[in-house]
Every structure is written in structure tokens, then in C-alpha cells.
């Protein structure tokens, strides 16, 4: 039965789908882009996947050479899943997918979103031409995790880090940050509602948001109810 689900083509794109095209597989990759996770952490980041299905996807990705399982050095009894070097090459695919999907008129921005997913938006929406001459480090505490977002030399980096050199610390939840990052809500409004708090250099976070360029919704021919373009 497994072979019947494969494309069995020499086309590299079809073969890539054989490896990571099963449901939840690319979301596993998304959850591991910022570093290794335990199985329970993956479950929290992908709540729609049952434990059995998630375990199956992890086994498939391990066999494909995309994911590896290892023990943490500081705790030999703790096993985590991590991307292999080859698996990490999927990052631009996930980033591009996020930007492409962000243009969908059917995207429900009110649906649940996890911390890693919303932090990935910083990469999906980053526009290098807007970042000329900018150097900034911001710590984002979201959903119980802490990330470091840094811009320098026209490039952006997002890491799971305490960002000790951060000029600003942003404390929020995934949904509120998602709205602000995608331009669906003003930072001022989220702050006034108590859903985003910026400690330190607030202007530094504002400058970071300014280098994000949410795409216009796509106009899909023959589809009714396309979202109106942003103003």
C-alpha cells in the first residue's frame, strides 16, 4: 500500500513529494527549523495530528534522511528530534510556502497558530530592500518560548534564543503577534488591549516590523469573495 501512494517518477519534484508530501510532514519540518524538539513539544506545535500519526510521520522522515533522533548532551535520558543538514535545506521551501499561502483569499487568520509558525512569518515577510543599513536585535517571548530576531547586513535571522543583547523584549501570544506581523492589526491597538507589551527600545521593534512586507491577497479567477487588497 505504501508504494501505491508514491508518484514513482524520475521528476525530482515528484520524488520530493514522495519524501515530504504526506499530511503533517512539512509541518514537522516547520516545527524543527528553530532547533530540536521533544515529541511532546511537537505535539503541542501540531495539535491537529494525533500521536499515532505524528509518530508515523517522524518515522517516515527519519527513513528519508530528513529528521534524526538523538539524545540531548545535558540530559542523556531525553530524546529529541532534529533536522539533518539535508532536512534543513527545506527552510526556503517552507518560507516560500508561507508567503505564497499568505496570499490566499481563503486563509483564516483567526484560526489557531503556534509560536514557531508565527515566528516563521518574520522570514516569510522579510524584505531586504527595506532593511538597508538596519541593525537590530529583538527578543520575542511568545507562547512560552523565547526567540531572537536579528537584522543585519540586509538579512534576517530567527533563533530559539534568550537574545541577551536584545534592544527590546516583546511579550505576547501567538495570535496577537500573528495579527501584528501580517499587518492585520496595528501594534498600538494590540498594546492598548494588553495583548502585546514591548519592554526596552520600542522603536527598535517598530523598525523590525517596518522591514516586513505582507503580500497582497491573490486574485483568483472565477472565485467569488476574493479578499480586498490591503490599503
How far apart, in whole angstroms, are the C-alpha atoms of residue 196 and residue 177?
A: 7
The predicted model scores a pTM of 0.88
Summarised one tens digit per residue, pLDDT across range 40-76 is 999 999 999 999 999 999 999 999 999 999 987 766 6
Question: Are the C-beta atoms of residues 72 and 78 closer than 8 Å to each other?
Answer: yes
Identify the bridge partners of residue 212 per DSSP, sorted by sequence position.
126
pLDDT higher than threshold 50 for residue 2: no
221 or 231, greater pLDDT: 221
Identify the bridge partners of residue 159 per DSSP, sorted by sequence position.
148
How far apart, in whole angstroms, are the C-alpha atoms of residue 178 and residue 184?
A: 8
CATH 1.10.10.10 domain position(s) in the chain = 10-89
108 or 226, greater pLDDT: 108
Query: What is the pLDDT at residue 205?
Result: 97
CATH 3.30.1050.10 domain position(s) in the chain = 107-210
- What is the dotted CATH code of the domain comprising 10-89? 1.10.10.10
Write the DSSP symbol of residue 165.
Answer: T
How far apart, in whole angstroms, are the C-alpha atoms of residue 61 and residue 95?
A: 19
What is the CATH topology of the domain spanning 107-210?
Answer: Nonspecific Lipid-transfer Protein; Chain A (3.30.1050)
How far apart, in whole angstroms, are the C-alpha atoms of residue 211 and residue 122?
A: 9
Give the contacts of 157 (CB within 8 A, at least 6 positions apart). 148, 149, 150, 151
Amino acid at each position: 500500500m505504501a508504494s501505491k501512494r508514491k508518484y514513482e517518477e524520475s521528476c525530482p519534484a515528484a520524488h520530493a513529494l514522495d519524501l515530504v508530501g504526506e499530511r503533517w510532514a512539512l509541518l514537522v519540518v516547520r516545527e524543527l527549523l528553530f532547533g530540536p524538539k521533544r515529541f511532546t513539544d511537537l505535539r503541542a506545535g501540531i495539535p491537529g495530528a494525533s500521536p499515532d500519526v505524528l509518530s508515523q510521520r517522524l518515522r517516515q522522515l527519519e527513513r528519508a534522511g530528513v529528521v534524526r533522533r538523538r539524545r540531548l548532551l545535558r540530559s542523556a535520558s531525553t530524546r529529541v528530534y532534529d533536522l539533518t543538514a539535508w532536512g534543513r535545506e527545506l527552510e526556503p521551501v517552507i518560507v516560500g510556502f508561507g508567503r505564497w499561502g499568505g496570499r490566499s483569499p481563503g486563509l483564516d487568520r483567526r484560526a489557531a497558530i503556534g509560536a514557531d509558525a508565527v515566528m516563521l512569518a518574520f522570514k516569510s515577510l522579510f524584505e531586504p530592500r527595506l532593511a538597508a543599513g538596519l541593525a537590530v536585535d529583538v527578543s520575542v517571548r511568545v507562547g512560552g518560548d523565547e526567540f531572537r530576531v536579528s537584522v543585519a547586513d540586509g538579512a534576517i535571522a530567527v533563533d530559539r534564543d534568550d537574545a541577551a543583547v536584545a534592544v527590546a523584549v516583546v511579550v505576547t501570544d501567538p495570535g496577537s503577534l500573528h495579527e501584528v506581523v501580517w499587518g492585520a492589526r496595528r501594534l498600538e491597538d494590540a498594546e492598548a488591549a494588553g495583548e502585546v507589551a514591548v519592554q526596552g527600545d520600542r522603536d527598535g521593534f517598530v523598525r523590525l516590523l517596518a522591514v516586513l512586507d505582507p503580500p497582497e491577497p491573490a486574485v483568483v479567477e472565477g472565485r467569488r469573495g476574493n479578499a480586498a487588497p490591503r490599503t
